[in-house]
Amino acid sequence: MCCFRGLTQRTTELRADKPTHAVLAVALLVLAGCAGTPARYPQELAAQEQALAPRWYAPPLPHDGKTTELTQWWQRWADPVLADLIAGAQELGPSIAAARAQVEAARAAVAGVEVAGRPQVSAVANAVREPSIELPLGTTLSAGLQASWTVDLWGGNAASVRAARADEASAGAGWHAARVLVAAETAQAYYGYRLCLRQLAVVTDDRASRERTARSNDITEQAGFTAPAVAALARASAADGRNRQAQQQAVCEQQLKGLVALTGMSEPQLRQQLSEAPPLPGHGALQSMLSVRALPADVIRQRPDVYRAQQDLMAAAEGVHVSQAALWPSLSLSGNVMRNRFSGGGTDITLNSWSVGPFTLSLPLLGREGLRAQASAAEARYEAAARAYAATLRQAVAEVEQSLVAQSSLAARVEATATAVDGYDRSLRATEARYRVGLANLNELEEARRLKLAADSASVALLQERIQAWIALYVALGGGFDPRQALSQE
């Protein structure tokens, strides 16, 4: 307010004995001393990144965490069917289309703000038929150019442009994030269905084993060598096997329907493509798919959500500048160049005219409480964006470390699971051999079969968990997003 008081006093003094242009020049010089403070977001960004942990506390795996390796990561699966499904899902994904629309809207906003801060030139034309004091009733035709310009005294227009560009970058990062998530969702659905089929094969083999036992007991029951209760137990076990198979079949069919909806392919076409898919990757192939050895600050820069939060913070900082600039005087200039023609009463006159002005310097007096409230709201949005950016950084580190912990745990379970599957398989074969010669009863055989089924199911589930964990780590690392080329892939 001291700047405004000084300006008023100085202007009053000059109006008495100085030309108008001198008054304006002095006013601009005085106002220039009241310019706002620069945006604080660079210091805020540096402070938040310095607060990150200096190293990973989760078990690291051998990989440099480079964006180039992440970009080519899906090629490591060597599965053209998966690549086609991801491409189809990204083509049809509503979340990607919505994010793309946000990018276009942000670009339009940038264009609008940039144009608003420049001199405006419009073509104008008018026609008037009326009498005048000097001339008789006649028609006046005018055409020309009209120009206006609101001078950016306090950098508010420039700040608006920077904020709009930050919003555009944020929208671009959101578009990349949507693509990464759709790719991950498609891969999870694809491998979920294929592993469901492997689980179906396990229960189908179990059903076949149970039915062989049931048929054998039916024959021996008819011959009088097996008690009816034992034969009934074998038939019940076979029925349980059929029930498990029907349940698993339904699960797989439901997953296939979901994959059809996700990719937009017809079901026959999708079934045909899936039948041509290469074998599933084994635990050995998964062992070195992806891992992290880079520092946390280097890794999180690859995440689109971190970049988006950073750009949101930048836009909020520029919004503070814009709201503060609205509290200061504004200067606008206007002018026109016209070609005029009057005809009437036997008179035909053509002439050119031009004008410069008015030069308007305005300062809002009434309603300043609303402007101050908007400035306070902009400050609050900036503080909220800073907190959100800090939280995004922490969450990014947490997600990477959680993925690393999951990878380490799952890798440790591979050997134990393989040992269990091998041991229970040998036990079942031995028990079946003893059962055929009468050295083991049906209860022992059923127990060995249940243990073998559980071990086989656990093995398939472990492979599915590992694949999902790799995909989760890929998403946690940003999915190949590079802030330096945020919009280059559109």
Q: What is the pLDDT along the chain (490 residues), one digit of tens a residue?
A: 333 333 333 333 333 344 444 434 434 433 443 444 445 566 666 666 666 666 666 655 433 444 455 667 788 888 999 989 998 998 888 998 999 899 999 999 999 988 888 888 899 999 888 766 666 677 888 999 988 888 888 888 889 999 999 999 999 889 989 989 999 999 999 999 999 999 999 999 989 988 988 888 888 888 888 888 988 988 998 999 999 999 999 999 999 999 999 999 999 999 999 999 999 998 888 877 766 666 677 777 778 998 999 999 999 999 999 998 888 888 888 889 999 888 877 778 888 988 887 888 888 888 788 889 999 999 999 999 999 998 998 898 889 888 888 888 898 899 999 999 999 999 999 998 998 888 888 888 888 988 999 999 999 999 999 999 999 988 988 887 777 665 554 5
Angle, helices 442-476/368-436, rounded to nearest 10 degrees? 150
Residues 213 and 313 in one domain: yes
Residues 308 and 334 in one domain: no
Residues 352 and 285 in one domain: no
Query: Is 455 contained in some domain?
Result: yes
Dihedral angle sign, alpha carbons of residues 78, 484, 64, 478: negative
Report DSSP state, residue 301: T
Evaluate if pTM is beyond 0.85.
no
The four Cα atoms 472, 478, 480, 484 give a dihedral, to 10 degrees, of 180
Helix and strand element counts for the chain (H, E)? 14, 5
C-alpha distances (whole Å) from 301 to each of 221, 398, 419, 478 are: 71, 14, 41, 8
220/237 Cα distance (integer angstroms):
17
Residues 274 and 333 in one domain: no
CA 439, 441, 443 angle in degrees (round to 5)? 150
Q: Give the type of residue at 61.
A: L
Query: Is 166 contained in some domain?
Result: no
| Nearest one of 257, 282, 272 to 198, comparing CA atoms | 282
Residues 14 and 66 in one domain: no
Place of tokens 């053209």: 80
- Domain residues for the domain of 279 are 40-96+181-328+369-485
Residues 79 and 48 in one domain: yes
Give the number of domains in the chain: 3
Element (H, E) at 29: helix 20-32
Residues 23 and 45 in one domain: no
Residues 319 and 343 in one domain: no
User: SS3 for 348?
Assistant: strand
50/44 Cα distance (integer angstroms):
10
- Of the three residues 308, 339, 362, the one that is the final residue of a domain is 362
Residues 284 and 212 in one domain: yes
125/102 Cα distance (integer angstroms):
38
What's CA 316's distance to the chain center, in Å?
19
Contact predicate 44/325, CB 8 Å: no
Dihedral angle sign, alpha carbons of residues 473, 477, 480, 486: positive
